Amino acid sequence: MPLNEGSEPVIWDIQYGSPPTVLRHCKKCGRKSEYVSSGEFRVNAQQKNLDIWLIYKCSHCNTTWNSTIYSRVPPQRLGVALLERFHRNDEDLAMQYAMYIPLLQRNGAETILPDYQIIGEDVSLEKAVTIKIQSKYLLPLKISSVLRRKLGVSQREFDELLSNSRIKSNTEQDLRKCKLSADTLIAISQ
């Protein structure tokens, strides 16, 4: 895809208001409930190994569920600095694990994506521009949703822009279906 030569891309930064909510069966509530990250870890020693979990709480009754991060891991493998971050419930580390969807899925959790904002300069469809969409956390967010929301276009208008080749990605993926990745560049032509 030819990017707009000589011009810096417009940066759109995706910022989430909270980590994803987890849907799980709550024994106390007797039904599927939403669980939210407490931002705290549980570290348990099993002989010479450690188990480490991120603690979630039912939003209705505060029942806890532990999402496994490490199971039966030797402490030396983690290193002193990382282990200390787990022990002191490091906020950034807790957010990093709470935002990691594959880990939640391995723990049998169904996730609900959080609300997000798109921070960055608005662009006009009347001018050729390259947009770099970035995020500190790569949740499975559809690029089409981000583009439609920030550009203020309907699904029909978006489909028309795609069929006229006015919007393309650097990966040549189908922008109707692909998800946000680390290096998402979008070119809008006149």
User: Do 149 and 95 share a structural domain?
Assistant: no
- Using CA atoms, how far residue 52 sits from 44, 72, 112, 152, in Å, is 6, 9, 23, 44
Q: Is residue 90 part of a domain?
A: yes
Q: Is residue 68 part of a domain?
A: yes
Cβ neighbours, 10 Å, residue 181? 15
**26-52 pLDDT tens trace:** 999 999 999 999 999 999 998 899 999
User: Do 84 and 27 share a structural domain?
Assistant: yes
Q: Is residue 51 part of a domain?
A: yes
Given a cut of 70, whether residue 139 has pLDDT beyond it is: yes
Number of structural domains (the chain) is 2
Instruction: Look up the domain containing 172 and give its range.
Output: 10-16+116-188
Q: Is residue 4 part of a domain?
A: no
User: Do 106 and 27 share a structural domain?
Assistant: yes
User: Do 150 and 124 share a structural domain?
Assistant: yes
User: Do 31 and 108 share a structural domain?
Assistant: yes
Q: Is residue 5 part of a domain?
A: no
User: Do 47 and 125 share a structural domain?
Assistant: no
Which range has the worst mean pLDDT, 36-45, 95-104, 107-116, 170-179?
Answer: 170-179
Mean pLDDT, the chain, whole residue set: 92
Indicate the residue among 92, 112, 132 that finishes a domain. 112
Given a cut of 80, whether residue 67 has pLDDT beyond it is: yes
Q: Which two tokens stand for residue 90?
A: 């490091």
Given a cut of 80, whether residue 6 has pLDDT beyond it is: no
Q: At what angle do helices 91-98 and 80-87 cross, to 10 degrees?
A: 90
Indicate the residue among 57, 83, 112 that finishes a domain. 112
What is the percent of the chain where pLDDT is above 70?
A: 96
Nearest CA among 46, 27, 179, 12 for reference residue 101:
179
